[in-house]
Amino acid sequence: MQAEPELKTRKKNAMLSQPRQIQHLLRWQGIIGVILLLLAAPFGLPALVSAGAGSAACLLANAVAAFWVFRSYRAQQPGALVLRFYGAEIVKITLILALFVIAYAVFDDLVLPIVLGSYLAVQTLPALMPDRRSDRTMSGQG
């Protein structure tokens, strides 16, 4: 009988940790975006604006997608959650494309490799950052 409460606790911890993991990724995306802005600043305004456009597009699109998926999160409804993920990805891709089009329409001197490079860095690097709080929560220490 001891295993049943422990299983419920693990499920509850897993359910609570998923939005925390999203917050962790979004926080790291913001930090990496700021670092990229600092790295681009010495190369002039076009590089700075380009890094800002790529970083902001990524961060904004991921924040909207996270809100879309987890706005009324229920782990008991995995089918609905999967549909939300697909819907959020469609919204995210559409938003990214719209933000890139707007950036190119508004700013004359955008540097394409910097825009795309900063977008890819902000998108991929945070996944490499460990979330120690989630590790503690999942192991029952948090």
Distance (Å, whole) CA 5 – CA 14: 14
Q: Shortest CA distance to 22 belongs to which of 133, 115, 100?
A: 133
Domain ranges in the chain are 8-138
| pLDDT at 17 (0 to 100) | 54
Alpha-carbon distance of 40 to 56, in angstroms, equals 14
pLDDT at res. 142: 46
* pLDDT tens for the 142 residues of the chain, in order: 455 555 455 444 444 456 778 888 899 999 999 999 999 999 999 999 999 999 999 999 999 998 888 776 666 677 777 888 898 999 999 999 999 999 999 999 999 999 999 999 999 998 887 766 655 544 454 4
